Structure 1
Amino acid sequence: MLVGRNPERARIHRLLVDAANGRSGALVVRGEAGIGKSVLLDDAASTAGTMRVLRGTGIESEAELPFGVLHQLLLPFLDRLDTLPVPQAAALSAAFGLVEGPDTNRFLIGAGTLTLLAELADDEPLLCLIDDAQWLDQGSLDALLFAARRFQTDPVAMVFAVRDTAVPFGTPGIDTLRLTGLPRSASAALLDERSPGLSAPARERVLDEAHGNPLALIELGAAQGLGHADPTEQVAPLPVTGRVQEAFRAQIAGLPGATRALLLTAAADAGGDLDLILRVGRTLGATAVDLAPAEHAHLVTLSTSRLVFRHPLVRAAAYQSAPHHQRIAVHRAFAHELALAGDVGADRRAWHLAAATTGPDESVAAELERTALRAQHRGGAMAVSAAYDRAGRLSTDNERKARRLGKAAQAAYDAGKPDRAVRLAAEVASLTEDPSILADALSLRAQVEYERTSPAVDATLALDAAELVPRGDPERAVLILTEAVCAGRNSCRLDVVAHGVRRLRALRLPPDSGLWSVVEAQIGWGEMFAGRPGRAVGPMAAHLRAARAGPLDHLHRIIAGFSGLMLGDDEATIAVMSATLTDARATGALTWIPYSLEVLALGHLMRGRFVDADASVAEGVPMAEELAMDTELLVLKAVSVWLAGVRGDERGCRSLTEEVLPRLDTRHPLGAALARWGLGLLDLAAGRCDDALRTLEDVCAGPAGRDVVVRAVPDLVEAAVRTGDTDRVLDRLADFDHWAEHVDSPVALALSLRCRALLATGDTAEEHFSAALRLQHAHAGPFDLARTRLLYGEWLRRRRRRGDAHSHLAPALTAFERLEALGWAERARTELAALGERPVARPQAKNPLQRLTPQEVQVVRLAASGYSNKEIGAQLFLSPRTVGHHLYKAYPKLGVSRRTELARLEL
């Protein structure tokens, strides 16, 4: 029976009840060793009722073996893999070593885990209990946390027990229950139950030293009762965990030598295979009979095939109390026995060899390198890093060490461990003068710094890395210089962009290289930012066409998407990025999804598809948070600032601006310009034209002014006209007209005509307004069209042409209402009131999608396209049941009752 844990039991019980009723939940139980985490998990299992219980346990010595705990958890259900989407099934099969194949994406493994657990929960409510999660291999941990964060309406509860250690163990997005020591009264009750008859001084000493830790109360009390040396006296400076471990050491020290040898053997290998332990033990002169004293002392439990330590601290005490030479002998014996098993035990054998090796050994390093390659095919990026790292330490010369540590650094980055990656990359730089290895290490540091510090730091490091690339490898140089140019653009470091472009011009790619189009596009960017759009358009448009026509890698398609925005070809950008996003979801390339969503959101903004932009941001923000993409998270929130500004959400726009703008200014000035553009739109719609003019002038005259935010110039011109201060914007307008003329985009030309109309005197204004509207009717999005109609209607009203003014103002008001552009709708309403009308807000004018949450928008769109719930879940990394829940909530908002009716809505 649990003593003193009623509140904690109640918290977990609520979690189980909610899961049984279809409300998913996850909980992390944290605390020091022995505080009662495992006992709470046992209690949850015993009270789970009809729930199916899956259990897994992390073991410290298995942390380098990829997907061990995930395999342990899902092993009974591998026959269901064929019910999963094909990419997910293939990823899990590779992770578990069931098939050979190309390198597996770790995010697809997480998606497969989510779907398989959801399938099991369809049979009966599911409880997943993961003990000692701090020792899970990184692949298993990533997959389980990925699933835990995405369950919403499935009957699934997940509980992770995590021991406090010196290394922080993050579980963002999951509630935490922290266990502290038992109250004094509960501690006394537990001690009296387990160690009755202690003298009063001994009882008080144990209560004082245990600090309410149940394991300490039991073990220190037992030590007192058996007359062992008092561990509280011997190790008083140690924390509670140390005192308990010393108590276990004292118990182990009193056992026969052969028993201690078998405990060391069991502690040295996490498998718990009793037959293997006994075979290795025989090399140390021990037999099965010698386990009896340890079993009698309740240090281990035995079955016909398994040996299990009663507590991880027993395992630690058994291993750490043994002399170093005995540990080495045990690891060598394990390596010998596992060699007899062939490939099945190859990874464990390699790690035992490494543990038995005290100095450089090229043969062992090569074994570990083969282990790393196997882990790479299975998708265990952190296992890859650990194996390459250890192989590097055992290498016999610095060049091999540098090469292996460089691969360890790259794998750490792939595993989402940027600090480890940077540390290893810095070590590589101290070991070698090989320019190719140094270029890779410096390039890796650059990529880390993009999200951790700023794109400017990334760009500088990438340029330095490109200098190191041998002349015979121009394609490698292109990849690094592309990183530099992109990062230089985002940081508005036009000098860096120009430097990168000069280096790209100087490269000699093979004539048949697939990188020519991206090189030319990047050179085009340099021309565009230098104010020479005529030289930029051709290569940028060619790369955009290439991206639409055939597969390119994700970065090069994103470059094409930005090129489309700079060319005013928003539809091409949306097409390219939609395809890129579909591919990234299908292949599990999660790190590219937030970047793809950023470009897609900007394309939707420019087209006036605010619901779609909102949905893109809503998907990208939590993913960027999960992947620790701090810079990209800020940029996505800058899009939200723009959306709030255009919708007239004063409080939301300013609050979000205060949150992100100071950090964007130092990290991502291009994102900062986008956010300021949103502020300028907020003020312009509200009639605060002086404020709008100042803000938009900063945007358009700044270093981002020839990038995507060139499209803010018409807003700047409108603000200047409304304040009567047009002279200060003429230079910006000249640049805009020059851009619009050369990109030859109907959207850009229409905006240029609108600016001319605003600045014109006499009847020429009407000619420009009419010409702009003709182009926009055929090519522009609803927001730009409504803005032009509003401005034209205002011009007509001032000339007392009431009927003509109404013919433009009324549809402008309807469009603004559908877009929920409240400030602009109010302006249109005011103009109509000046004509003697009293239009009122019409909620029914709303786009039906605006009644949905962003995630409901995504789900409904895919459902309307004919995708099943399982297929939608695979694309959006949701369980099929959660997809069904979103549809259930969306139907009444859309006025439909079944899936087939979605096809006839304008979605």
Structure 2
Amino acid sequence: MDRRSEREVLDRVVADLRRGESRALVLRGDAGIGKTALLEYVVGQAAGCQVVRAGGNEAEDELAFAGLEQVCAPMLDRSARLPGPQREALSTAFGLSAGRPPDRFMVGLAVLSLFAETARERPLLCLIDDAQWLDRASAQVLGFVARRLKAESLAMIFAMRGSGDQAELAGLPELHVTGLPDDDARALLLSAHPGPVDDRVLDRVVADSRGNPLALQELPRGFTLAELAGGFGLLSSAALPYRIEESFRRQIAALAPLTRQVLLVAAAEPVGDPVLVWRAVDPLGIGMGAERALREAAAGFLEFGARVTFRHPLLRSAIYHAATPEDRRQAHRALARVMDPVTDPDRRAWHLAQAAAGFDDDVAAELEQSAGRAQARGGPAAAAAFFERAADLTRDSARRGQRLLAASQANYQAGMPHASLPLLARAEACPLGALERANVDLLRARVAFTLNRGPEAPTLLLRAAARLEKLDARMARETYLEALRAGWFVAHLSAGPHLHDLSAAALEAPAAECPGSPSDLLLDGLAVRYRDGYPAGAPLLKQALDAFLGAEPAAETDLRWLWFACTTALDLWQAEAGDVLTSRFVQLARNSGALTALPLALTQRVVMQVFAGDLAAADLLLEEFDAVREGTGLDEPPYAAQLLAVWRGQEEKAAALIGATTREATQRGEGVGVVAAGWMQALLLNSLGRYDEALPAARQATEPRQEMGVLTWCSLVELVIAAARTGHGGTASEALARLRVMTQASGTDWALGLQASCEALVRFGEAAEPHHREAIDRFGRTRMRGGLARCHLHYGEWLRRSDRYQEAREELRTAHTMFTAMGMDAFAARSARELGASGETVRKNSDVSSGQLTVQQEQIVRLVRDGLSNAEIAARLFISPRTVEWHLSKVFIKCGVTSRRQLRS
């Protein structure tokens, strides 16, 4: 049939591929609608291109990377060209070498690079049929790759059922394949079933099939000519896929028992290995001499070639489900018997599990070993399936509970917290030991924190930590630290313990066996700080920061606690520590491939760069943040984008982001989001000179008496400014008093510069000037350029109001120059207005847009300047090396250079 519109779309994909462009497309439609035929059409049009094909398999959707291995197998000889971390991640994922379980997104980068390397030779066309049955690990990686395509000469086309729920492919361009027009449907039906067909029956088949080619060919099979001619009992009112399977079942029922056995074994064997199928069939009592006759009998249903292929995937399903449970178990048992326990232990264990009719501890033990291998390869979703099936086969209820808990933990590690909860409930119903009970509490708390960062997590973590005190002191202390983090996020919206309560409990816990580690010092310092106040905790927290700075970075431990360490550095106004630790956090997350931690690390680095006034660098980090979110699907709140929009004075964009994040934070019960929104709103309005509107926002942010470090002092600064400028002297003085407690305990130039700046705003007459000068002096010794520019602005405004116009112009000119260079447009406009009021006209910068680089191109130029190779830049930006080359070619043209060396200069 013609399929003209679908062919036109696919022709454009192939044409773009030949031009060196990359495309991703999902063909979505009902079973039998013709998706596979369209894939065959693409193959026919792709002469001169490399084609790799794979298909999801219902029987393998629990085996980690099974689908991905099919896709990558023809290309693995090129893996030696990949960067070391990517090569190792791919090798570990496929079980080719032992190593630390790779982050699935590092595997994604490796596959993207592998595809790009392969496409250098000839354009590469990657086709994945039955994508709805891909195992989760493969779907995540292939979805990641499909979203990062740009200029690799690579096309990826996925075919999946319309009802298929493959969230990892959501958002990719789609082509919905629908039924054939009535005339084409009639022609296909008549060609497939020559002979007399009653017109009314013909009309009914065409209407009920809705143009589905498979239904048109398969529904009438198994009926007599008389039934087709008269329509007697031809169709039921059941759903179309069910009726197609019923048609298949009628055809199967007419076969000889031995033929049905062969078909059943083939349906139960997911790899499609003909040798394996016949080896499994022989012990069932079918002699090899009967092989030819059985091949002929089965020919209408499947084909024995290099692989065993069914006429249609629904036929495999129909054959399998038409068999009795005992026949299915017998088929799996036969397959397990002939599989090599050394080379293919996981599939063998899975077949043994499917063959088990009741408890079987030996098979459960094999499944548990398979789960361990899946975890080592970076496939926690597969590990969860193995653990769950092992639990079902376990006779002892206590051991069953342990395996259910392990399954729940593996689901959580796989990024499926919702799926872990039912298993956790089943585990709780078993007679668990004290340590397992504590781990149940801990996992439930982590799930709650992951799902919404809401008020439930601190209570659960506190309970888990209390249970762990007598069982594992180290684990208990780490859990208290997690509880403090959860309490910080919930903040004043907590319905349970607040930071003060959590800190008191942590300080009463047993001391560390080997005190002095960075995380132990951090826990002690934070607990004292939130129980006894900022001045009491500051010295201990400074020791913790020194310990983090002095320790050798270790990805597994540092990535867990660096978020708190970075936040603490900002709390204490420790600029150098903050710069080093936020940079280390990002680098560790990148190097280890821990892309789930990278958005949080990038957010903290953006905050540091914004305070330093390097908004251009913050822009590039935000581009990376967006790339990670897009490629991984991680739902990290866009606080970094919100902060950058505020400092740039982009009122409309900032207001939209603040409104959205405030609503989401309130719904989740995440108090930190509400406080952050109040601070940013106040900062934005102060930058615009709308102090009367900034005042209520700043009050909202400072109303919670629970101190939140950087958020608290940032909000207090904006409250002092807004209150002082609107004549609310008492409010300004009270806010300054709260701020002074913190700044005095910190003692850094950054802290004392902020204090001096605020002191100047609440003073009257000449008493303000020494504080203005001190603020500029102290900020001048720091890297905090944004704060320094604000100090010049405040001093210039004060000088102008004191009628000292010449001095005012000097300060305001300095502020304007700095704000303009940093891209802080609202502050720059405010300083320009003040300059105008002082008698000086500000010249507008000419807009030079010709040849301007995009944000990503600018990012690439900076990385080239830093000496990174194309492969290293690609890994940093989650794109392929080919895409880096494509961007650089554009950059060379725009900049009028011909080499990387010229670009550096």
Q: TM-score range by the shorter chain?
A: over 0.9
Change (3 A) 1:168 1:896: closer
Stretch moving more, 150-159 or 489-498: 489-498
Task: Work out the CA distance in 2 between the residues paired with 1:349 and 1:590.
Answer: 33
1:719-734, aligned counterparts within 5 Å?
719-734=722-737
Task: Provide TM-score, normalisation by structure 2.
Answer: 0.94
1:31-46, aligned counterparts within 5 Å?
31-46=29-44
What secondary structure, in the 3-state scheme, does the structure 1 residue paired with 2:455 have?
helix
Say if 2:464 is the partner of 1:453: no
Say if 2:371 is the partner of 1:375: no
Cα-to-partner distance string for 1:701-748 (whole Å, 9 max, x where unaligned): 334654212123222222122111121122221111111111112111
| CA drift at 1:492 | 0.8
Of residues 673, 676, 683 in structure 1, which corresponds to 2:675? 673
What secondary structure, in the 3-state scheme, does the structure 1 residue paired with 2:344 have?
helix
Counterpart of 2:190 in structure 1 is 192
Counterpart of 1:754 in structure 2 is 757
Say if 2:793 is the partner of 1:790: yes
| CA drift at 1:799 | 2.2
Task: Work out the CA distance in 2 between the residues paired with 1:217 and 1:704.
Answer: 69
Contact 1:52 1:124 in 2 (8 A): yes
Contact 2:227 2:233 in 1 (8 A): no
Counterpart of 2:118 in structure 1 is 120
Counterpart of 1:246 in structure 2 is 246
Cα-to-partner distance string for 1:764-797 (whole Å, 9 max, x where unaligned): 3221111111111121422111111111111112
| CA drift at 1:892 | 6.4
What secondary structure, in the 3-state scheme, does the structure 2 residue paired with 1:182 have?
coil
Contact 2:736 2:759 in 1 (8 A): no
Contact 1:813 1:829 in 2 (8 A): yes
Counterpart of 2:278 in structure 1 is 278
Task: Work out the CA distance in 2 between the residues paired with 1:434 and 1:425.
Answer: 14
Say if 2:835 is the partner of 1:836: no
1:478-557, aligned counterparts within 5 Å?
478-493=477-492, 495-512=497-514, 516-529=517-530, 532-549=533-550, 550-551=552-553, 552-557=557-562
Contact 2:139 2:168 in 1 (8 A): no
Task: Work out the CA distance in 2 between the residues paired with 1:85 and 1:642.
Answer: 34
Stretch moving more, 99-108 or 822-831: 99-108
Counterpart of 1:144 in structure 2 is 142
Task: Provide TM-score, normalisation by structure 1.
Answer: 0.94
Contact 1:642 1:677 in 2 (8 A): no
Contact 1:642 1:679 in 2 (8 A): no
Counterpart of 2:718 in structure 1 is 715
Counterpart of 1:649 in structure 2 is 650
| CA drift at 1:581 | 1.6
1:811-830, aligned counterparts within 5 Å?
811-830=814-833
Counterpart of 1:774 in structure 2 is 777
- The percent identity for this pair of structures is 35
Task: Work out the CA distance in 2 between the residues paired with 1:701 and 1:237.
Answer: 64
Residue segments in structure 2 that go unaligned for 5+ positions in a row: none
Counterpart of 2:862 in structure 1 is 861
Cα-to-partner distance string for 1:409-446 (whole Å, 9 max, x where unaligned): 12112222221112212221222342321222332222
| CA drift at 1:529 | 4.1
| CA drift at 1:234 | 6.6
What secondary structure, in the 3-state scheme, does the structure 1 residue paired with 2:348 have?
helix
Counterpart of 1:301 in structure 2 is 303
What secondary structure, in the 3-state scheme, does the structure 2 residue paired with 1:128 have?
strand
Task: Work out the CA distance in 2 between the residues paired with 1:638 and 1:50.
Answer: 47
Q: Aligned residues, how many?
A: 891
Contact 1:701 1:732 in 2 (8 A): no
| CA drift at 1:389 | 0.8
Task: Work out the CA distance in 1 between the residues paired with 2:893 and 2:813.
Answer: 29
- Which amino acid is the alignment partner of residue 260 of structure 2? R
Counterpart of 1:129 in structure 2 is 127
| CA drift at 1:283 | 1.9
Contact 1:525 1:540 in 2 (8 A): yes
Task: Work out the CA distance in 1 between the residues paired with 2:731 and 2:60.
Answer: 68
Of residues 587, 591, 615 in structure 2, which corresponds to 1:586? 591
| CA drift at 1:754 | 0.8
Task: Work out the CA distance in 1 between the residues paired with 2:888 and 2:528.
Answer: 48
Say if 2:571 is the partner of 1:566: yes
Residue segments in structure 1 that go unaligned for 5+ positions in a row: none
Counterpart of 2:258 in structure 1 is 258
Counterpart of 1:74 in structure 2 is 72
| CA drift at 1:402 | 1.2
Of residues 158, 178, 188 in structure 1, which corresponds to 2:176? 178
Change (3 A) 1:747 1:89: same
Task: Work out the CA distance in 2 between the residues paired with 1:207 and 1:447.
Answer: 54
Change (3 A) 1:491 1:143: same
Contact 2:259 2:294 in 1 (8 A): yes
Change (3 A) 1:892 1:742: farther
| CA drift at 1:368 | 0.4
Contact 1:259 1:290 in 2 (8 A): no
Counterpart of 1:620 in structure 2 is 625
Contact 1:220 1:244 in 2 (8 A): yes
Contact 2:499 2:706 in 1 (8 A): no
Say if 2:608 is the partner of 1:607: no
Contact 1:231 1:243 in 2 (8 A): no
1:146-165, aligned counterparts within 5 Å?
146-165=144-163
Stretch moving more, 405-414 or 11-20: 11-20
Task: Work out the CA distance in 2 between the residues paired with 1:410 and 1:887.
Answer: 44
Counterpart of 1:468 in structure 2 is 467
CA-atom RMSD in angstroms: 2.5
- Which amino acid is the alignment partner of residue 5 of structure 2? P
Contact 2:453 2:489 in 1 (8 A): no
Contact 1:126 1:157 in 2 (8 A): yes
Task: Work out the CA distance in 2 between the residues paired with 1:462 and 1:712.
Answer: 29
Task: Work out the CA distance in 1 between the residues paired with 2:460 and 2:769.
Answer: 53
Task: Work out the CA distance in 2 between the residues paired with 1:256 and 1:83.
Answer: 53
Cα-to-partner distance string for 1:815-851 (whole Å, 9 max, x where unaligned): 11122222211221112112222112225799x9x96
Counterpart of 2:207 in structure 1 is 208
Cα-to-partner distance string for 1:174-200 (whole Å, 9 max, x where unaligned): 112222222222212222232233232
Task: Work out the CA distance in 2 between the residues paired with 1:444 and 1:858.
Answer: 39
Contact 2:364 2:393 in 1 (8 A): yes
Counterpart of 1:50 in structure 2 is 48
Contact 1:365 1:394 in 2 (8 A): yes
| CA drift at 1:661 | 1.4
Task: Work out the CA distance in 2 between the residues paired with 1:234 and 1:399.
Answer: 54
What secondary structure, in the 3-state scheme, does the structure 2 residue paired with 1:98 have?
coil
Counterpart of 1:422 in structure 2 is 421
Task: Work out the CA distance in 1 between the residues paired with 2:67 and 2:685.
Answer: 55
What secondary structure, in the 3-state scheme, does the structure 1 residue paired with 2:219 have?
helix
- Which amino acid is the alignment partner of residue 695 of structure 1? A
Counterpart of 2:602 in structure 1 is 597
Counterpart of 2:321 in structure 1 is 320
| CA drift at 1:385 | 1.0
Cα-to-partner distance string for 1:140-177 (whole Å, 9 max, x where unaligned): 22221111111122211111111244756452331122
Say if 2:678 is the partner of 1:663: no
Task: Work out the CA distance in 2 between the residues paired with 1:583 and 1:729.
Answer: 42
| CA drift at 1:879 | 0.4
| CA drift at 1:342 | 3.6
What secondary structure, in the 3-state scheme, does the structure 1 residue paired with 2:179 have?
coil
Contact 1:27 1:177 in 2 (8 A): yes
- Which amino acid is the alignment partner of residue 726 of structure 1? G
1:277-426, aligned counterparts within 5 Å?
277-286=277-286, 287-297=290-300, 299-303=301-305, 305-338=306-339, 341-426=340-425
Contact 2:140 2:168 in 1 (8 A): no
Task: Work out the CA distance in 1 between the residues paired with 2:689 and 2:385.
Answer: 60
Stretch moving more, 99-108 or 651-660: 99-108
1:680-691, aligned counterparts within 5 Å?
680-691=682-693
Task: Work out the CA distance in 2 between the residues paired with 1:231 and 1:281.
Answer: 39
Contact 2:29 2:178 in 1 (8 A): yes
Cα-to-partner distance string for 1:373-420 (whole Å, 9 max, x where unaligned): 111222222111111110011111121111111111121122222211
- Which amino acid is the alignment partner of residue 278 of structure 1? W
- Which amino acid is the alignment partner of residue 9 of structure 1? R
| CA drift at 1:510 | 4.5
Change (3 A) 1:820 1:521: same
Stretch moving more, 380-389 or 203-212: 203-212
What secondary structure, in the 3-state scheme, does the structure 2 residue paired with 1:127 have?
strand
Task: Work out the CA distance in 2 between the residues paired with 1:201 and 1:267.
Answer: 37
